[in-house]
Amino acid sequence: MIGRLPAIVSLSLTDVLAAMQEWIDPVLDRSALEAYVSSVDWSNAERADPAVRLVLGEVEWLTHAAAEGEIGEAELARRLHSVLAGQAFSR
C-alpha cells in the first residue's frame, strides 16, 4: 500500500492490523510503519471506520513520540503490541 496514498475510507481494520503485524513482528520496522501511516490520505476521515481512525491515530502518535525521543523502541513495540491485542480482543 505504501506509495499510492490509500484513502482512509477504503481501509478495513483487518488491512490495518495485518500491515501493523507485518512491521511489528518478529522485529519492529519503525520506518516502514511510519511510512505506511504517513501515506494514508485522511480526506473524508469522518466517513471512515471509527476503529480504523482510532488505530491509525494511535499508531501515528506512538511513532511520532518515538521519533521525538519521548519513548524508546522497546516501549514503542510494547505499546504497538498492546494496540494490536486490544483490537483483536474487541473484534
Q: What's the confidence (pLDDT) of residue 2?
A: 46
Give pLDDT tens digits for 30-75.
Answer: 888 888 888 899 898 899 999 999 999 999 999 999 999 999 999 9
> What distance in Å separates the CA atoms of residue 62 and residue 24, rounded to the nearest whole number?
13
pLDDT at 87 over 80: no
Q: Where are the domains of the chain?
A: 8-90
The confidence band for 26, taking pLDDT boundaries of 50, 70 and 90, is confident
> What distance in Å separates the CA atoms of residue 8 and residue 47, rounded to the nearest whole number?
9
Q: Which of 2-6, 24-28, 74-78, 83-87 has the highest mean pLDDT?
A: 74-78
